[in-house]
Structures are given as structure tokens and as C-alpha cells.
Amino acid sequence: MKEEFSILNSIDELPVLAGKIEELGEKWDLPMPLTMNLNLVLEEAISNIVFYAFHDKGKHPIHIAVQNESHEIEIVIEDSGRPFDPTSKEKPDINLPAEDRPIGGLGIFLISKIMDKVEYKRENDKNILILKKKI
């Protein structure tokens, strides 16, 4: 089973996206904690795209495909923003006091902790983030 949709690069789209994931969770009979984690991961990933991917303030589509197959959820997020490989970022030292930590990186760290697999590739001038979670 696969569902695909697009949203614009706007924080205002996050509640719409959350609603779509909740609908899929019900439709596919996913456990509520899994649906909540998928929403958290998507919020972090999409927020990074909204705030950092584009040089201008224009509207840009973000394509999202969610697939439920073979006891695994796969989410593919595509955007045409500037290249950014979140898998290449150094993991933050969460043992440091908050005031000593550099800004940023916790969202990507959170995504990598929740999901079983996080992959990135750049094809046809698009960032493609692939997130997988076993059910």
C-alpha cells in the first residue's frame, strides 16, 4: 500500500501533514505510538526543509510518499532545495550541558533514533530522504 501527496514549504502545512499521517495510521491499523513517531519524524524533516532548503521565500512543493509493505513503513521525502545530506552530519554530544551544545542537529539525531534506517541521495537536482521503520 502506498500513498503520495505534496505540500508546500510552509510551517502552516505541518498540521495538514499530521492529519494525513493520522488517517494513514487508522487506514493501515498502525499502533498509535508508531503513528505519533512518524508524525514527529516528518515534522522534524519537513521543518528542516522549510527553514533551510530554499534561498528564496517562494512556494516550493515537497513530495512525500508513504509505503506500508512487508512489515515496514517507508517514507520518501523529495524537495528541490539546496543539497543537504542529513546522514553526513556529526551526531550531537547529548551529554554536554544544553548551553555548551552547538545549535542544530538534534532533529536529525531524533530522526535517526526513531527510524531504523535513514538514507539520502541527490538525483535530478532533488534531495531524496528515505526513512524506514519496521512494524
Question: From residue 9, how far is each of 43, 77, 83, 85, 135 by CA, in Å?
Answer: 12, 12, 15, 18, 29
Q: How confident is the model at residue 127 (pLDDT cuts 50, 70, 90)?
A: very high
Q: Find how far residue 9's CA is from the centre of its chain.
A: 13
Given the C-alpha cell 516550493, which residue does it identify? 60
Question: Who's near 126: CB < 8 A, 6+ residues apart?
Answer: 78, 79, 80
Residue 85 has pLDDT above 70, yes or no: yes
Cell numbers found for residue 23: 488517517
Q: What is the pLDDT of residues 48-64, one digit of tens each?
A: 999 999 999 899 999 99
pLDDT for position 109: 80
pLDDT for position 47: 93
What percentage of residues in the chain have a pLDDT greater than 70?
86
Residue 6 has pLDDT above 90, yes or no: yes
Q: How confident is the model at residue 95 (pLDDT cuts 50, 70, 90)?
A: low
For the chain, domains (ranges, CATH) are 2-134 (3.30.565.10)
Residue 90 has pLDDT above 80, yes or no: no
Calculate mean pLDDT across residues 9-17. Answer: 95
Cell numbers found for residue 77: 521525502
